[in-house]
Structure 1
Amino acid sequence: MIFRRQKPRLTPVTKTEVVRKLLDLAVVKAGNGDKAVLVFFDLRCPFCARLYKETEEILLDMARRGLITFAMCDYVVHRDAEPLHRKLRCLREEERLKLISDVYNGKRVEAGECPEGNLRECERLAEEVGVYGTPSLLFYDFSKGRGYIHFGYMSPSDVLDAISSL
């Protein structure tokens, strides 16, 4: 039996103001391009870890070159991840990617005590654009006022294809 690889299903999104608010609330944000890639993630989600490990370098490089705005928004699905997400929001911005990398690479991370911050607001707004689980990726072109959302893991080449299709 031969299995054909299906192209990712991209659902249209046209909620520019909600996407801007999500960027403001994002726990990680790099770059300032007109095209944005927002990843909704859970620190205990295995497919989020895989997506992060395979695409983080590529997306950060694109953001540093001004091609995109790359952001990561909390969307806690696994309740045992909540203290880690709170801790993430208490760290200085430059320390956050290291914590995400440590968690996704299986290093032991102490959550400690930390207030919730904008965790619930990020989740509420994410649901307004159609996020219902993790990982979810939102590709948005602010110059056109539209974009796409995809639920589930995407390969690096599919992520790049979705960016170029904006």
Structure 2
Amino acid sequence: MIFRRRKPSLTPVVKTEVVKKIVEIAPIKVGSGNRAVVVFFDLKCPFCARLFKETEEVMLEMAKNGLITYAMCDYVVHKDAESLHRALRCIEAEKRLDFVKRIYSGERVKADECPADDLKVCEELAEAVGVYGTPTLLFYDFSKGRGYIHFGYMTPDQVLEAIYAL
């Protein structure tokens, strides 16, 4: 029996105002391209870590070149990750990616007490576009007013293919 790798399932999304709000409130945002790639993540999610490690470099490069807006929005699934997500929001914006990288690399990171109370905003907006777990990727083209959402891990090639399909 031969097993074939299935293409990722992309569900259409046409909620431009909700997607704009998600990008606006995301604790991590790089670039200002007309196409957005939003990753809904949990800092204790192993597949989020794998996705981040494999795609972060290319996403940042595309964002810095103006091809996309790359954003990461909290979607806390593991309750023991909540303090880490709160700490992330209390760190200076330019240090947040490094914080995520350290956690996903297995480093023990101290989550200082942080009063950030806006974690649920990302989750509520995420659910409005169909997010129900992590990792979830949202690919959106603001000029066309449409995009796609994918639940679960994607390979770097699949991510790039979804971006170019916009």
**Could you list the per-position Cα deviations for residues 14-56 of structure 1 after superposition, in whole angstroms to 9, with x for gaps in the alignment?**
0000000001110100000100000000000000000000000
Read off the aligned partner of 1:86 and give its amino acid letter: R
The alignment status of 1:16 with 2:22, answered yes or no, reads no
* Structure 2 partner of 1:25: 25
Q: State the partner residue of 1:159.
A: 159
Q: 1:13 corresponds to which letter in structure 2?
A: V
Distance 1:5 1:153 in 2: 13
Q: How far off is 1:117 after superposition?
A: 3.3
Q: Deviations over 1:88-116 (max 9, x none)?
A: 00000111011100100000101110013
Matches within 5 A, 1:102-113: 102-113=102-113
- 2: CA distance between counterparts of 1:25 and 1:3? 41
How far is 1:13 from its partner?
Answer: 0.2
Paired residue for 1:3?
3
Following TM superposition, the consecutive aligned residue runs of length 4 or more in structure 1 with deviations greater than 3 angstroms are none
Name the amino acid aligned to 1:155: T
Alpha-carbon distance in structure 1 between the residues aligned to 2:117 and 2:143:
30
> SS where residue 29 of structure 1 aligns?
strand
**Root-mean-square deviation over aligned CA pairs:** 0.5
Contact 1:40 1:73 in 2 (8 A): yes
Corresponding residue for residue 60 of structure 2: 60
Give the residue type in structure 1 aligned to 2:122: C
Q: What amino acid is aligned across from residue 156 of structure 2 in structure 1? A: P
Q: Partners in 2 of 1:23 and 1:119 — Cα distance?
A: 14
Matches within 5 A, 1:1-166: 1-166=1-166
How many corresponding residue pairs? 166
Q: Distance in 2 between matches of 1:55 and 1:21?
A: 23
